[in-house]
Amino acid sequence: MKYLFDAVLVPSETMDTHDCRLVVDLLRASTQMTTFFEYGGSKLIPCADSDEAFRMKAEAGPGWMLMGERGGVMVPGFDYGNSPLELTRRGAPENAIMTTSNGTKALLAAASGCPEVRIACARNAEAAAWDALCSGRRICTVASGRNGKFSIEDAVCSGMIIEKMLALAPSNGGTEMELTDGALTAMALWHHFGPDLASLCMESEHGRILQELGFGEDIFFCAEIDSSAVVPYYRRGEKYGSIASG
């Protein structure tokens, strides 16, 4: 069986047809989504902006919490920010509506025209790689970037996941692998900057902003590789799509 591995380095790139896309926002939205399920959350609805989030909460009722950020900090009136360490300390709410500056937007873009979408980060890298291999043959990582621009940490994390898929594919019947230019680039970046993701994230533009905001500890948490087996997936809904796990 032949696998094709592709990588989109900013979500505005034209996306080819894929069976499965892995959305990567290492700092911090895809880590936050993974941690949400790891710490007891059961349903997450991603949405594009905070006005929509408030509207959805008014419709959904009191059992729903608002989670997310703008400029890295909790949106005024929300219940949780976008800090995975906050979730580890407080525990995750059961149900949340989530909006972030880039990660939730990248997820909604990736979900358009692709049957299977997974949430991937460093913490669940190997589990997400295996899940994707079991979900189709044409697989693409989607790096969320920042404000429409390239983010080094998302590209490097994507390259790590692609390398894991290459290593694991034969165990799922893969006999031939093709890599696009995007995938080759992401892997080359991983080979250059990995495996010390914490140092890379500290130096990255977004990492420096997070440190200034006092979220330096989040970076170490986000940079841990393969510490979680949780792979959240996107589920289409009649009214809203949602993210679930398990």
Asked if 34 is part of the footprint of ligand MLT (rule: CB under 6 A), the reply reads no
The letter for the amino acid at 87 is L
Where would I find the beta strands (DSSP E) of the chain? 2-8, 20-24, 43-46, 65-70, 73-74, 95-99, 116-120, 138-143, 176-179, 233-235, 242-244
Q: Decide: is 151 part of the binding site for ligand MLT (CB under 6 A).
A: no
**Nearest alpha-carbon partner for 227 in 184, 186, 198, 185:** 198
Among 11, 41, 46, 103, binds ligand MLT (CB under 6 A): 103
Residues 125-144 touching ligand MLT, rule: CB under 6 A, are none
Pick from 7, 5, 6, 11: nearest CA to 144: 11
Q: How far apart are CA 11 and CA 226, in angstroms?
A: 24
- Other CB atoms within a 10 A radius of the CB of residue 76 amount to 7
Q: Does residue 84 bind ligand MLT (CB under 6 A)?
A: no
From 1-9, 20-28, 153-161, 188-196, span contacting ligand MLT (CB under 6 A) = 20-28
Stretch that binds ligand MLT, among 27-35, 112-120, 153-161, 174-182 (CB under 6 A): 27-35
For residue 126, what is the DSSP state?
A: H
Looking at the Cβ atoms of 97 and 210, the one nearer to ligand MLT is 210
Q: Which of 4, 23, 24, 29 binds ligand MLT (CB under 6 A)?
A: 29
Q: Pick from 6, 69, 153, 154 the residue near ligand MLT by CB under 6 A.
A: 69
Would you count residue 28 as binding ligand MLT (CB under 6 A)?
yes
Question: Which tokens belong to 135?
Answer: 């979900």
Q: Does 145 bind ligand MLT (CB under 6 A)?
A: no
Residues that bind ligand MLT (CB under 6 A): 25, 27-29, 69, 72, 82, 100-103, 210
